[in-house]
Amino acid sequence: MIVAKAADDKRAEDILALDMQGISSFADYFVICHGNSDKQVQAIAREIKEKAIENQIEVKRLEGFDAAKWILIDLGEIVVHVFNRDERSYYNLEKLWGDAPLENVTAAFTS
């Protein structure tokens, strides 16, 4: 998964992919990760955007970049949530979407 690898390349932490098919009408997958500083959160989001473009994946929307607390990257079938550590704990999307199965993204880290 290109998104997970890009996040891992910038040392994102606790990278998860939720299979939202049949649960959400607006995305097939949510990828969730976090960084430990505003600069790292922005670097993760920037890398994901660049890798998406390199792989001809349309970046439909990118929101929250300047504040760097919760950056949302809409790639159509995949929506990426890049959080600052504290914001991730507060919003806890994993719990909110707890009925969504997890996808194994660790294989992407070694490719």
The ranges assigned to domains in the chain are: 2-109
Average pLDDT over residues 75-85: 96
pLDDT surpassing 60 at residue 18: yes
pLDDT for res 5: 94
pLDDT-above-90 percentage for the chain: 76
Domain 2-109 has CATH 3.30.460.10: yes
pLDDT for res 107: 67
Is the model more confident about 105 or about 107?
105
Q: How far apart are CA 4 and CA 8, in angstroms?
A: 6
Pseudo-torsion of CA 39, 98, 103, 2, nearest 10°? -30
**Single-letter residue type at 27:** A
pLDDT band at 54 (very low <50, low <70, confident <90, very high): very high
